[in-house]
């Protein structure tokens, strides 16, 4: 399957991405090239039935699909990753962009099915089958089948394969819409023959000239039982994309700020769920943990907790009922939070609207997660402690140290872990591999790894604040840290974090990635010019439109690849992941509409990705060890096996 797709996309890419570099324009179309690489120029659909058209579909429908895909009701892994760091407001704008495009529809292919089957298809579309509880498709999709605003799509101009895949998706549970899922109900009442009938018939109908969705859903005829669609709620959801700020006491307001710094909401909110109501799954090598409900609901949340109970959780890793808590909740860092800050956090959480959402038990491999195992774990690896200021250092430095090692819990990712999942304090902040995700959180002690030295400090602080800087973007798990947490740091705290982080790096010393220069020189000498030209062509064809012929990038949009820390990094896993999966810089207040990079996974083979990355690492003054095909294959396979 993947192989076939790869071929299709490859052919497709050769025609779409390779055209002469268009001049850069600051537009939505430019931002969304990561999408149109698959969905076709202007979102007019891919060359076959697989990549759906986006252009001209009702805005609420497109917005719903983006939410469905990001929140797991509809599955397409390569898009889930792209959409993860985008805000609802940006998704709505993306939906509006594609919805407004008017591009012609292809002419239908002549119907190849027997007349009898086509007649059945037509009957289902126009009259439904009351005996099977199937209303006429026209009832919702409109008499002309061109859809209805805001949330019902048209059914014409879509390839038969695509229609089959969608109805099949509803039948198998691969595709769901907001509940009640009217299409799920309908698809499950159609026989296989009915599905074939309806898709053959629909795919053979021409799209009427000037096809537009109806302004509103047609009313149900009197006397018939209406079938409701949860997806209709999108209209009100679209209106509330902008949240109204809450009025808080000074203590609770301080708590709201601290909750950002601790990134509590990101872990404690399920994708698309009620903020802070828990149930987000967190994968670990020992099994899956679920975050809990932090809203003040008495039955399922913290409604009956006192500030002492809360302190016991944060500082001692123990719940109100005495249960020892799993260190997936980063209390080994939060233990350093002061009592005053803990009380402010609690005051804020108690101000949230209560949400009734029960705890979901963790699914851990035995014995992990049992109270006995947790007791042993805490005995070995955890001691409640207070933050100890260093009297020899400035107040600003100490504030930075408190934030990084306490609420910021940077070490939960940037410190290596032992076999039992405990961070190794002797190697604090020296870089850690994030289990299950194949991302490396680079060492914060080396300027080459994370770029925190005097020369780059400005850029690093800009990254923490906005998620992108001229030479860099925050990707993967770090994108969510910037989005949920560091973008909210006030100027003084950002500065304090910078001062502390910079003090960890030996200043002035420019550490080059290991073995890089030497291998690079050898690599240059041994590669025949013919090969190099080929690779240069690969780069020009797939990358240069955005990153520039000289790897110079476009400020504010596309990172420069010349002299880029992420490109030169000794460990290549993050680099390979970025190119395999593409992505957007996170949406932040300072960068509300980031630009996207298309996933290259289906477009380039492992060998080609290795070649193009080796080329990047040794062009425009870059010098670093080449990337091998097996490094790329390893990461691609790990992903496929998940
Ligand atoms: C790697 C290829 C690929 C990329 C990149 C991609 N998509 Fe998709 N997209 C798909 C496929 C395949 C489907 C259909 C999935 C299915 O069958 O459920 C889809 C479905 C959709 C749908 C639902 C369409 C419908 O009519 O139901 C929307 C909306 C969408 N994509 C928007 C986007 C946007 C916006 C981006 C960029 C941020 C994007 N896609 C990037 C492949 C891609
Ligand atoms: C009760 C209203 C209703 C009826 C009746 C109905 N649909 Fe739908 N249909 C919807 C809604 C709403 C959606 C959008 C669902 C979503 O948000 O994913 C939809 C989506 C679809 C899609 C997905 C289109 C795309 O671009 O991905 C197909 C295919 C479809 N319907 C086919 C049918 C067929 C065939 C019938 C008749 C047998 C039918 N529908 C009857 C409401 C209806
Ligand atoms: C990396 C993800 C993550 C982050 C970040 C996180 N938590 Fe949690 N938290 C969890 C998980 C998982 C649990 C469940 C632990 C268990 O059941 O043993 C939990 C449990 C808790 C509990 C215990 C609740 C109960 O009912 O037993 C409290 C209180 C809590 N978290 C508060 C916070 C606060 C406050 C913050 C931010 C300062 C925060 N959490 C940040 C993952 C996280
Ligand atoms: C959830 C895990 C996680 C946490 C928590 C985390 N980081 Fe990161 N960090 C990463 C990963 C993964 C990368 C590599 C991202 C990349 O290549 O873009 C990274 C990269 C960085 C970089 C290099 C610049 C960049 O974005 O690529 C800096 C600086 C950094 N982190 C600082 C911090 C600080 C300061 C904190 C605490 C406030 C922190 N990180 C917390 C995972 C994490
Ligand atoms: C449509 C424009 C576009 C194309 C084509 C493109 N990129 Fe990107 N690239 C981006 C954007 C936007 C980012 C920043 C977002 C991100 O990091 O996820 C980025 C980020 C990167 C990064 C990470 C840089 C950093 O500092 O973290 C690398 C490496 C990269 N691209 C390499 C490539 C390679 C190699 C190709 C060709 C095979 C390519 N890109 C094609 C737009 C593009």
Q: pLDDT tens digits for 164-190?
A: 999 999 999 999 999 999 999 999 999
CA–CA gap between residue 94 and residue 82 (Å, rounded): 13
The ligand 1 atom at the shortest distance from the C-alpha of residue 50 is 12
Q: What is the mean pLDDT of residues 105-131?
A: 93
Ligand 4 centroid to Cα of residue 78, in Å, is 22
> Is the model's pLDDT at 61 over the cut of 50?
yes
> Is the model's pLDDT at 229 over the cut of 60?
yes
> Is the model's pLDDT at 522 over the cut of 50?
no
CB atoms within 10 A of CB 306: 11
The CA-CA-CA angle for residues 275, 364, 422, to 5°, reads: 85
Taking every pair of Cα atoms in the chain, the longest distance, rounded to a whole number of angstroms, is 88
> Is the model's pLDDT at 532 over the cut of 80?
no
User: Are residues 565 and 617 in contact, defined by beta-carbon separation less than 8 angstroms?
Assistant: no
CB atoms within 10 A of CB 117: 17
The ligand 1 atom at the shortest distance from the C-alpha of residue 174 is 18
Ligand 5 centroid to Cα of residue 544, in Å, is 10
| Residue 614 CB less than 6 A away from ligand 5 | no
Handedness of CA 310, 311, 313, 318 (dihedral sign): negative
The pLDDT, as a whole number, for residue 509 is 43
CA–CA gap between residue 416 and residue 427 (Å, rounded): 7
| Residue 95 CB less than 6 A away from ligand 4 | no
Least confident of 462-471, 519-528, 544-553, 598-607: 519-528
Decide which of 111 and 443 is more confident. 443
Q: What is the mean pLDDT of residues 501-515?
A: 62
The pLDDT, as a whole number, for residue 567 is 94
Q: pLDDT (tens digit, 9 = 90+) per residue, 244-298?
A: 667 899 999 999 999 999 999 999 999 989 999 999 999 999 999 999 999 999 9
Residue nearest to atom 34 of ligand 1 (CA): 35
Q: What is the mean pLDDT of residues 565-577?
A: 93
CB atoms within 10 A of CB 410: 22
User: Are residues 37 and 139 in contact, defined by beta-carbon separation less than 8 angstroms?
Assistant: no
The pLDDT, as a whole number, for residue 14 is 39
Q: What is the mean pLDDT of residues 35-60?
A: 86
CA–CA gap between residue 157 and residue 160 (Å, rounded): 9
**Which ligand sits closest to the CA of 22?**
5
What is the average pLDDT score of the chain?
89
Q: Using CB atoms within 10 A of its CB, is residue 395 exposed (0-12), middle (13-18) or buried (19+)? A: exposed
Q: Using CB atoms within 10 A of its CB, is residue 542 exposed (0-12), middle (13-18) or buried (19+)? A: buried
Handedness of CA 159, 162, 164, 170 (dihedral sign): negative
- CA torsion angle for 194, 186, 74, 171 (degrees, to 10)? -50
Residue nearest to atom 15 of ligand 2 (CA): 177
Q: pLDDT (tens digit, 9 = 90+) per residue, 606-638?
A: 999 999 999 999 999 999 999 999 999 999 887
**Which ligand sits closest to the CA of 595?**
5
- CA torsion angle for 461, 467, 471, 475 (degrees, to 10)? 120
CA–CA gap between residue 335 and residue 315 (Å, rounded): 4
In which band, very low, low, confident or very high, does the pLDDT at 453 lie, cut at 50, 70 and 90?
A: confident
| Residue 620 CB less than 6 A away from ligand 1 | no
Ligand 2 centroid to Cα of residue 567, in Å, is 45
Ligand 3 centroid to Cα of residue 268, in Å, is 7
Residue whose CB lies within 8 A of the most ligand 2 atoms, among 61, 184, 186, for a mutation test: 186
Main-chain dihedrals φ then ψ at residue 137, nearest 5 degrees: -60, -35
The pLDDT, as a whole number, for residue 533 is 64
CA–CA gap between residue 449 and residue 444 (Å, rounded): 7
| Residue 354 CB less than 6 A away from ligand 5 | no
Ligand 5 centroid to Cα of residue 595, in Å, is 10
Residue 531 makes CB contacts below 8 A (sequence gap 6+) with none
Ligand 3 centroid to Cα of residue 585, in Å, is 26
The pLDDT, as a whole number, for residue 244 is 61
The ligand 5 atom at the shortest distance from the C-alpha of residue 596 is 12
Ligand 2 centroid to Cα of residue 141, in Å, is 7
CB atoms within 10 A of CB 390: 9
> Is the model's pLDDT at 1 over the cut of 60?
no
Residue 233 makes CB contacts below 8 A (sequence gap 6+) with 178
CA–CA gap between residue 242 and residue 245 (Å, rounded): 9
The pLDDT, as a whole number, for residue 262 is 98
Residue 631 makes CB contacts below 8 A (sequence gap 6+) with 572, 573, 576, 610
Ligand 5 centroid to Cα of residue 501, in Å, is 27
CA–CA gap between residue 200 and residue 192 (Å, rounded): 12
The pLDDT, as a whole number, for residue 471 is 76
- CA torsion angle for 152, 155, 160, 162 (degrees, to 10)? -20
The pLDDT, as a whole number, for residue 243 is 59
Q: pLDDT (tens digit, 9 = 90+) per residue, 331-361?
A: 999 999 999 999 999 999 999 999 999 999 9
């Amino acid at each position: 399957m993947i192989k076939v797709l790869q071929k299709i996309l490859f052919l497709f890419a050769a025609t779409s991405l390779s055209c002469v570099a268009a001049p850069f324009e600051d537009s939505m179309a430019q931002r969304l090239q990561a999408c149109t690489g698959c969905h076709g120029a202007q979102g007019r659909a891919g060359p076959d039935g697989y990549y759906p058209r986006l252009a001209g579909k009702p805005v609420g429908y497109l917005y719903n699909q983006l939410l469905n895909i990001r929140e797991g009701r509809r599955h397409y892994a390569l898009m889930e990753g792209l959409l993860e760091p985008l805000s609802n407001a940006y998704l709505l704008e993306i939906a509006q962009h594609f919805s407004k495009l008017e591009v012609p529809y292809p002419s239908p292919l002549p119907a190849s099915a027997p007349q009898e089957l086509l007649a059945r298809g037509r009957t289902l579309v126009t009259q439904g089958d009351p005996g099977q509880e199937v209303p006429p498709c026209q009832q919702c999709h409109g008499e002309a089948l061109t859809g209805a605003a805001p949330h019902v799509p048209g059914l014409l101009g879509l390839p038969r394969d695509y229609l089959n895949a969608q109805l099949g998706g509803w039948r198998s549970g691969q595709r769901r819409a907001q509940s009640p899922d009217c299409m799920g109900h309908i698809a499950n009442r159609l026989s296989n023959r009915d599905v074939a009938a309806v898709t053959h018939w629909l795919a053979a109908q021409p799209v009427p000239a000037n096809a537009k969705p109806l302004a509103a859903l047609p009313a149900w005829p009197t006397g018939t039982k209406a079938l409701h669609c949860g997806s209709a709620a999108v209209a009100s959801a679209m209106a509330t994309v902008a949240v109204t700020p809450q009025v808080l006491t000074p203590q609770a307001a301080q708590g709201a700020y601290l909750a950002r710094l601790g990134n509590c909401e990101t872990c404690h909110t399920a994708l698309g769920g009620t903020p802070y109501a828990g149930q987000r799954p967190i994968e670990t090598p020992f099994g899956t943990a679920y975050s809990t409900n932090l809203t003040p609901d008495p039955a399922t949340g913290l409604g009956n907790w006192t500030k002492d109970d809360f302190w016991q959780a944060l500082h001692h890793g123990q719940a109100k009922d005495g249960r020892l808590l799993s260190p997936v909740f980063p209390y080994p860092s939060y233990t350093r939070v002061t009592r005053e800050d803990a009380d402010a956090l609690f005051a804020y959480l108690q101000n949230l609207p209560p949400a009734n959402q029960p705890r979901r038990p963790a699914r851990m491999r035995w014995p992990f997660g049992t109270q006995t195992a947790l007791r042993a774990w805490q005995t070995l690896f955890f001691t409640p402690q207070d933050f100890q200021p260093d009297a020899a250092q400035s107040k600003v430095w100490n504030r930075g140290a408190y934030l990084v090692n306490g609420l910021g819990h940077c070490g939960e990712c940037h410190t290596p872990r032992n076999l039992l999942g405990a961070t190794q304090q002797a190697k604090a902040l020296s870089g850690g591999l994030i289990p299950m995700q194949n991302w490396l959180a680079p060492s914060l002690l080396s300027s080459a790894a994370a770029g925190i030295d005097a020369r780059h400090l400005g850029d690093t602080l800009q990254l923490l604040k906005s998620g992108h800087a001229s030479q860099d973007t925050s990707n993967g798990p770090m994108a969510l840290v910037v989005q949920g947490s560091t973008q909210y740091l006030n100027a003084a705290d950002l500065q304090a974090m910078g001062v502390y982080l910079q003090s960890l790096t030996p200043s002035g010393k420019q550490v080059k990635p290991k073995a890089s220069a030497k291998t690079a020189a050898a690599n240059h000498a041994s590669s025949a010019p013919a090969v190099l030209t080929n690779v240069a062509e690969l780069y020009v064809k797939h990358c240069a439109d955005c990153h520039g012929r000289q790897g110079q990038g476009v400020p504010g949009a596309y990172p420069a690849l010349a002299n880029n820390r992420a490109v030169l990094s000794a460990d290549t896993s993050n680099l390979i992941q970025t190119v395999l999966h593409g992505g957007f810089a996170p949406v932040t207040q300072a960068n509300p509409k980031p630009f996207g990079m298309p996933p290259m996974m289906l477009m380039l083979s492992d060998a080609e990705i290795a070649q193009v990355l080796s080329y990047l690492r040794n062009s425009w003054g870059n010098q670093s060890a080449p990337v091998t095909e097996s490094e790329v294959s390893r990461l691609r396979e790990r992903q496929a096996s998940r």
